[in-house]
Amino acid sequence: MSGLSESQTFATEWAESAMGKPPEDFWQARAACRGEHAYLFFPPNHFERKHEKLQRETAAKAICARCPVIEECREYALAIREPHGIWGGMTEQERKEALAQRQYAG
Ligand code: SF4
């Protein structure tokens, strides 16, 4: 989990936090990103080149694509306006655009 800031409320961190593992009926408990690949979902603490960012985000999105809780995760991230990382297969920018589209649609 290195590279994640304190403010990042990521499902994996939440699930494995000092509060203990979530009950199995929480969608976070079924997140495909739990474990060793969690570092892919947020930018590192060091400078990341554009192609490195794209590569990391593509790898994270591939995990999201096979995640059983992608819809729950995406809606949660949109609802709380999560500003960092890949959630529900979407980047920060993609979430901003989705929210803007929803607002425009009414
Ligand atoms: S959709 Fe992606 S970020 Fe969300 S829980 Fe699943 S793997 Fe993790």
Mean pLDDT by 10 residues, the chain (106 residues): 40 50 76 89 95 97 97 96 96 97 88
| Structure tokens belonging to residue 35 | 């474990």
CB 64 within 8 A of CB 86: yes
Question: How many Å is the Cα radius of gyration of the chain?
Answer: 14
pTM above 0.95, yes or no: no
* Ligand 1 midpoint to CA 6 (Å): 19
Q: Residue 67 burial by CB count (10 A; 0-12/13-18/19+): exposed, middle or buried?
A: buried
Q: What is the pLDDT of residue 36?
A: 79
| Mutation pick for ligand 1 pocket among 40, 67, 92 (CB with most ligand atoms within 8 Å) | 67
Cα three-residue angle 82-56-11, rounded to 5 degrees: 35
Is any atom of ligand 1 closer than 6 Å to the C-beta of 63? yes
**Cα–Cα distance between 51 and 48 in angstroms, integer?**
8
